[in-house]
Amino acid sequence: MALILIIETSTEVCSVSLLKDGLLIDFIESDEGQNHARLVTVFAENLLSRNNLKPNELSAVTVSKGPGSYTGLRIGVSTAKGICYAGNIPLIAIGTLEAMAKHVALNKKEFGIPDDKLTLFCPMIDARRMEVFSMLLDESGAVLKPISADIIDDSFLSIELSNKQVVFFGNGSEKCGKVIKSPNAIFLPNIKASARHMTELAWQAYNKNQFEDVAYFEPFYLKDFITTVSKKNMLG
């Protein structure tokens, strides 16, 4: 029996789920904002407790590796590493955007995505202003446009949109609907990064023994963390 704890803290959602032999059996989730430092450990403890499990019974811990919020990613990865270190448990890292795309691709009918055209998937995470972290994948999960930080204008993916339908989703897509006007653009609301959506990729990685080095693994931030220094006289 394989038990995998999954942690997702890369966006405004704090989410923890539990897999048993590849099937989602439980989850806890909150989208109330950036309270991940307070919530994620409590969620993990509660999830294990109500399933009568101890951390050392886990077969692996999976964490969302980004891109996303710098602080959120640090919290999630630190929590996952702590559990792995304590129980000598393997660590799996899953791309945030890839997991979102896999979830949508597996549920095309549920989301009402037409089957009459070749479909591409563009998950988006909000960065700032009109910038998003995005990538482009086909239905098999093959990457057509690697992850990048993009400024969205009316020319974004215009070549692909000329003869294919592109599905946009994620918290970064909400601000792009007013800019991308192609009739081949489909916008799905309320698709968020979630530990529930990492099930397929986490199970695949576990069966392929695709584990990270717990000591040296770092999240994929994509962009450096930037701070600003106040110009006010701190002593004045």
Please report, for the chain, the start and end positions of each structural domain, with discontinuous segments joined by +: 3-96+193-207, 98-187
| Pairing label, strands 3-8, 60-66 | parallel
pLDDT per residue of the chain (236 residues) written in tens, 0 to 9: 999 999 999 999 999 999 999 999 999 999 887 789 999 999 999 999 999 999 999 999 999 999 999 999 999 999 999 999 999 999 999 999 999 999 999 999 999 998 888 999 999 999 988 899 999 999 999 999 999 999 999 999 999 999 999 999 999 998 898 899 999 999 999 999 999 999 999 999 999 999 999 999 999 988 654 433 333 333 33
**Matching CATH number, 3-96+193-207, of 3.30.420.40, 3.20.20.100, 3.40.50.11540, 3.40.190.10:** 3.30.420.40
Burial grade of 207 (CB within 10 A; 0-12, 13-18, 19 or more) = exposed
Q: Are 114 and 166 in contact (CB under 8 A)?
A: no
pTM greater than 0.85 (yes/no): yes
**Long-range CB contacts (< 8 A, 24+ apart) of 35-39?**
36/9, 36/71, 36/72, 36/75, 36/76, 37/75, 39/14
Architecture of domain 98-187: 2-Layer Sandwich (3.30)
Tokens of 21: 């032999």
- Does 3-96+193-207 match 98-187 in CATH topology? yes
Q: Are 212 and 92 in contact (CB under 8 A)?
A: yes
Single out the residue of 55, 33, 36 nearest to residue 46, CA to CA.
55
Listed in sequence order, the residues at least 6 apart from 37 whose beta carbon sits closer than 8 Å to its beta carbon are: 75
How far apart CA 94 and CA 198 sit, in angstroms, is 7
| Pairing label, strands 91-95, 60-66 | parallel
Question: How many Cβ atoms are within 10 Å of 174's Cβ, its own excluded?
Answer: 17
